[in-house]
Structure 1
Amino acid sequence: MCAAWATIHRCTLIQHTRINVAFQASIFIREHTFKEKLYENLRGVVSRYALMLIAKEKARVGKCGCTMRRTHGLPCSCQIGRMATIPFTAVDQHWRRLTSTSAPDESQPVLGLSIATELEVIAKMFEEANVPRRQAIKERLREFAYPDQTSMCPPPNKLPTRGRPNEPKCSSRRIPSSWENVDAIAGSKQASNSSAPQGKGCKTRSVKRKSIPLKQSAPKKRSKRIASNTAKLPPQHLKGKVYSANYIHEVPEFLREYVIDIQNVEDDGNCGYRCTSSLMGKGEQNWRQI
């Protein structure tokens, strides 16, 4: 029984936390959909779910049966069409309660709810701060005092945002290299020589040059290697040699005559150190000394 009560208590606490989170979201979150003048008196003081129902009722097309007003205590579509701004009193008290504690009696003065102490601390902080700090405090206070306004201002001049700006002084062309300048000068000289006027009595004869096609060399045929499963045998002058490990067929033929001995070291990732240690005469097992 005690375990069941503990589980029920834990579930109740989770639900209470979710309800408080929803209340805080309704107070502080300002969605873009509800920034119209129609919801000016309801932002931050009415549940977000109620605002969603009002927006859905506003977008509804068809005959209004005033069902929303009778069942939910919210303005229906016919009332919304006649309102420029929905008054705070048009929403039922159920949607205006954004706290999980007991609602205080509005006829009695509220005790313990005052910001006089906080305002004194803020005023003292403002007097002791420097100029940048004062500007920051003032901007934060303006956000609370005037939530519908902003400190941002438009630019003094409308800036062109389309197309590339015209900058005749700056060119995107690269600087030509020295050999390009030489080719350009040589080309201009040849053009001037060909276009120069010739003297009287001088006849020019155009010579037609025959283009001789170059001989295309036949593509080299790659020799096909015949794969064989049998390993190549060592040459005749290596048949008398005896190695520690018979891996001479793995060595290229032009290097086999220089091979003195072959040892097969352990393949544990340190084979290079093992080979070096063995060739230095320290033995394969002393590879850690390398």
Structure 2
Amino acid sequence: MLGNSIGDMVKCWEAMNNNLRLQLGNIRASFQKSFYKVEHAHVSPFYGYLRGSVSRAALRRIAEELLRVDYVGTNRQICGCTLRTSYGLPCACELGRYRVGGIPIPIDAVHVHWRKLTMEVELEIGEDDGSEVDMTAAMDELWRRFRSLDVIGKRALRSMVCELAYPTMTTLCPPPEKIKTKGGVKKKGKKPADYDVYRDPSYHEYVDKASQSSQRQSQPSQTSKKIKLSKKQPQFIVQFPNHIRSYIEDVVNVESDVVGESLMIESFGSQPPEKWMSLPDMGYLIANRYNVVLVCLGNPCITFFPMTSSHSPNVSIYCIGFVNQNHWVQVNMKEGFPLPPVTLDWKKFCSHIATTWMLGFAGRMQHWQLLTPVLA
């Protein structure tokens, strides 16, 4: 504007002032987002002390650094501590120690620069009389509001206060225990297997029972078609890595004739080897379709987590092992057994919320790394 005769110093000053006002508004808006908006990658209790107290940009850098913990562990030499020295944020080895200890990231581990979420200038020593940070009046008003509410309102207000007072705790509750509602008097000798309290069956139940009985008599015996299983097979256990054998309870194998029948698909006949189950493709499919954790003991050993859901402590974990270079068997493991690492493709293509699976099973995956012998 100063390069021609159209503008002057006054107009230039006004333009700069408007531009600064716009930037200041954007900065304040970003502070408000850091206060109230939580991204999916930061909903884990691991970030409980940081949510609402640290800039979202810092949380994103910490989440990216957390991915390095899988191969860095707690080793400072491998870590290099670049994020700590350059940005004042916890690096991979620090995050590994917090994760192994099962504690959230402390607020003191983040530099004060990332914790300043206001444009207000800090008062110098001696200028603060305490009136700006005094919460006595606010707490008194909160108590008056609490006493004036009904039961539903008190519960809602208490829930909001607990979110501020206990940021690392979740509001989710485990399912309630099953309540026994069986209060009827049971008569011995008269109780059918299908009812808690005896009653006379209806007409259609008599008909259904007679129909099922006639069908059972007309159908051929199914005992010859039962899957033949065999357990406790040491010749299979020795084919798995040494450090995991002590965690194996038994191996369930399917007899060869049943395997042959399973490869026969109606109207298609026997299927060639390229149609058989193969990893890692089928591992992703099983984990995502049934929302389970699939552990495969082979070469290499891999864990498959769902790629679109969040961690669940009650998830089912299934383990299979590759034996004789041509066959998969079911492996029953002991409770809390170590988990092998995930694939690089899972880390690359999983959603943000799916990263909570690695956080939830961090201790067991770290245990596997400690048991795995170091190759020279």
Please indicate the TM-score interval, normalised by the length of the shorter structure: 0.3 to 0.5
- Which one has the largest radius of gyration? 1
TM-score by length of 1: 0.47
State the TM-score, normalized to the length of structure 2. Answer: 0.37
Q: Compare relative contact order (CA 8 Å, sep 6+) and give the higher one, 1 or 2.
A: 2
